[in-house]
């Protein structure tokens, strides 16, 4: 099969790069920092100001993410990018401060609670199908549609009913934050301290301030009014306490965590959906199978949690989309002590990266890795757990993974049961990694009734 018959990918670099070139590439597309050999080797090391290693080996991943967690905290780059928006919340905190927040938040994401939130997802899927339906016969940017849909879900499960909560204003502020502040600057890559002002970040600051104030008001209002009839994430977090110490979150801690869920949860899930739609449009035979499964299971309804057991192929498509275009395509850690990874010397202070995009397309781990084949996931037990890390793994695995998968399957099944999506010639999306792996220019597909 030649490349023209494969879904879009990024040409990875084949030569050693200096700091200036890295700076240029990071501004353009962080994915272009990943050398092509990272899809063939277990580890690639280099020095760009700082010593770094890219690791694409399941055993080493297990060591970094699980067994030696304390030796590999999230890197300063990650924290510098995220802290101005979401404070010392679950995503950014380390050690004891991370641990108690994780223990307090975990029950909110228990299988029972995630299932109880499904009606919000079903309602958003129904509204998305109605919006898409009005555009039948035209090319539609499905990425924008999916961002709108997942934002509805996450804002409905965080701040439902908050009269003073202006959903559009929060969405605008979050987008400004992601667009402007998350662009990785050269200062971030070489690890300059957080107090060095970053121009773009300063521009987004006023929007963030008013968003935080709005969230604080919504939280205080909920404290006064008591829980909603079906508890949402805010109610569950308000109730949450660290079982070991009894500590509960303050308003500021609650707000930082809820904003974290919004930032970490909506664009990532929208990306999974947009890439999945691109892939099914790419492969009409897969789309036929997916439509048949969804139409038989749903009979014209929007999908709900009870339908999930009959939507196995839809789930495989989501799994494969997360392999080929992992929304969080790049995890980054700092080594706190000397170590050896894949036989390579790691020194204290080295940056250790897990380029998930390259791991998921590594030829040693995946046969024909650039090919779209949802049947790879027919038997989930056949997948090497640390070769497939769309949600990370170990104690810091994504707390929202089952929430995101449930939401993605509900929305994708609803859309594929009703519509047929086809590619628009000349409008292929280009994968670009900023903080997440985004389709530059959107995912434009032609929509027709199925």
Interface ranges with ligand HEM (CB under 6 A): 74, 90-91, 102, 260-261, 264-265, 268-269, 272, 327-328, 331, 390-392, 396, 398-400, 403-404
Work out how close the CB of 324 gets to ligand HEM at its nearest, in angstroms, rounded to a whole number. Answer: 13
- Cβ contact 16:46 at 8 Å: yes
Residues whose CB falls within 8 Å of the CB of residue 184, separated by 6 or more in sequence, listed in order:
26, 27, 30, 77, 81, 434, 435
Work out how close the CB of 24 gets to ligand HEM at its nearest, in angstroms, rounded to a whole number. Answer: 25
Closer by beta carbon to ligand HEM, 23 or else 325 = 325
Rounded CA separation 133/280 (Å): 18
Closer by beta carbon to ligand HEM, 39 or else 406 = 406
Rounded to the nearest 10 degrees, the angle between the axes of helix 401-418 and helix 142-158 is: 130
Closer by beta carbon to ligand HEM, 148 or else 424 = 148
Work out how close the CB of 368 gets to ligand HEM at its nearest, in angstroms, rounded to a whole number. Answer: 23
Rounded to the nearest 10 degrees, the angle between the axes of helix 251-282 and helix 199-225 is: 110
Closer by beta carbon to ligand HEM, 84 or else 284 = 84
Work out how close the CB of 25 gets to ligand HEM at its nearest, in angstroms, rounded to a whole number. Answer: 21
Cα dihedral 190→198→268→330 (10° resolution): 0
Work out how close the CB of 436 gets to ligand HEM at its nearest, in angstroms, rounded to a whole number. Answer: 8
Q: State the CB neighbour count (10 A cutoff) for residue 2.
A: 5
Per DSSP, the three-state class of 57 is coil
Rounded to the nearest 10 degrees, the angle between the axes of helix 199-225 and helix 167-176 is: 150
Closer by beta carbon to ligand HEM, 118 or else 328 = 328
Closer by beta carbon to ligand HEM, 72 or else 444 = 72
Rounded CA separation 268/245 (Å): 33
Work out how close the CB of 136 gets to ligand HEM at its nearest, in angstroms, rounded to a whole number. Answer: 27
């Amino acid at each position: 099969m030649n490349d023209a018959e494969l879904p879009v990918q990024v040409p990875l670099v084949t030569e050693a790069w200096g700091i200036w070139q890295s700076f240029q590439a990071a501004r353009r597309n962080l994915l272009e920092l990943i050398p092509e050999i990272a899809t063939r080797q277990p580890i690639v090391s280099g020095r760009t100001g700082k010593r770094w290693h890219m690791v694409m080996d399941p055993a080493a991943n297990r060591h970094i993410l699980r067994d030696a967690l304390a030796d590999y905290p999230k890197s300063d780059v990650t924290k510098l990018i995220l802290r101005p928006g979401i404070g010392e919340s679950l995503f950014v905190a380390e050690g004891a401060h991370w641990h108690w927040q994780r223990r307090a938040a975990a029950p909110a994401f228990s299988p029972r609670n995630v299932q109880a939130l499904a009606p919000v997802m079903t309602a958003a899927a129904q509204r998305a199908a109605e919006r898409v339906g009005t555009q039948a016969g035209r090319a539609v940017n499905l990425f924008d549609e999916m961002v709108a849909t997942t934002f509805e879900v996450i804002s409905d499960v965080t701040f439902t009913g908050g009269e003073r909560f202006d959903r559009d204003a929060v969405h605008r502020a979050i987008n400004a934050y992601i667009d402007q502040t998350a662009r990785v600057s050269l200062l971030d890559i070489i690890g300059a301290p957080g107090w060095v002002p970053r121009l773009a970040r300063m521009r987004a600051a006023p929007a963030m301030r008013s968003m935080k104030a709005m969230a604080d008001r919504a939280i205080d209002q909920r404290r006064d009014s008591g829980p909603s009839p079906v508890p949402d994430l805010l109610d569950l977090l308000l109730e949450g306490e660290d079982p070991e110490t009894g500590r509960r979150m303050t308003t500021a801690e609650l707000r930082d965590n809820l904003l974290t869920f919004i930032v970490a949860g909506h664009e990532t899930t929208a990306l999974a959906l947009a890439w999945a739609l691109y892939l099914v449009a790419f492969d009409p035979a897969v789309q036929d199978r997916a439509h048949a499964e969804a139409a038989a299971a749903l009979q014209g309804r929007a999908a709900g949690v009870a339908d999930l057991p009959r939507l196995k192929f839809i789930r495989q498509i989501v799994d494969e989309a997360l392999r080929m275009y992992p929304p969080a395509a790049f995890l980054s850690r700092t080594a706190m002590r000397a170590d050896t990874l894949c036989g390579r010397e790691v020194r204290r202070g080295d940056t250790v990266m897990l380029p998930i995009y390259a791991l998921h397309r590594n030829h040693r781990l995946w046969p024909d890795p650039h090919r779209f084949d949802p049947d790879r996931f027919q038997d989930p037990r056949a997948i090497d757990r640390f070769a497939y890390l769309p949600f990370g793994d170990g104690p810091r695995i994504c707390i929202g993974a089952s929430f995101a998968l449930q939401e993605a399957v509900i929305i994708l099944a609803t859309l594929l049961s009703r519509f047929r999506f086809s590619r628009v010639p000349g409008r292929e999306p280009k994968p670009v990694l900023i903080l997440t792996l985004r389709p530059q220019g959107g995912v434009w597909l032609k929509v027709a009734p199925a």
